[in-house]
Amino acid sequence: TFVVTENCIKCKYTDCVEVCPVDCFYEGPNFLVIHPDECIDCALCEPECPAEAIFAEDELPESQQEFIEINAELAEEWPNISEKQDPLPDAEEWDGKPGKRELLER
């Protein structure tokens, strides 16, 4: 399965949702997640993310391991998103900033 990681927070570009053949992205206030049971591992979303926030689970950096659980949990709570929308207003400014994990809104 593929996993959305920290750098999506406060960016939420949403280019990823447009290419997903099974519409398995779910949307929160400032972050998206992938439903691990619905993702078919096609890898199409990974290169689409301008923030490079999407990784295959087995290629996740050590610092991002907790996002496996975060994606699984929030995909059950948040609504589905299948159409691209505008990024969050300060997406460019937040892209690449460290320490965004604490800013994840539920």
Q: Which residues of this chain interact with ligand F3S, rule CB under 6 A?
A: 4, 8, 11-16, 32, 48-49, 51, 53-54
Burial class (CB in 10 A: 0-12, 13-18, 19+), 19: middle
Q: Which two tokens stand for residue 88?
A: 């969050």
The interface region with ligand SF4, picked from 14-22, 57-65, 82-90, 91-99 by CB under 6 A, is: 14-22
Return phi, psi of residue 52, to 5°. 50, 45
Strand partners, 34: 25
CA angle 20, 26, 29 (to 5 degrees): 130
Nearer to ligand SF4, 9 or 49 (CB): 49
Nearer to ligand SF4, 21 or 102 (CB): 21
Q: How far is the CB of 93 from ligand SF4 (least distance, A)?
A: 26
Secondary structure class of 94 (helix, strand, coil): helix
The site map against ligand SF4 for 47-86 (x = CB under 6 A) is: ----------------------------------------
Q: Which residues bind ligand SF4 (CB under 6 A)?
A: 2, 19-20, 22, 24, 34, 39-45
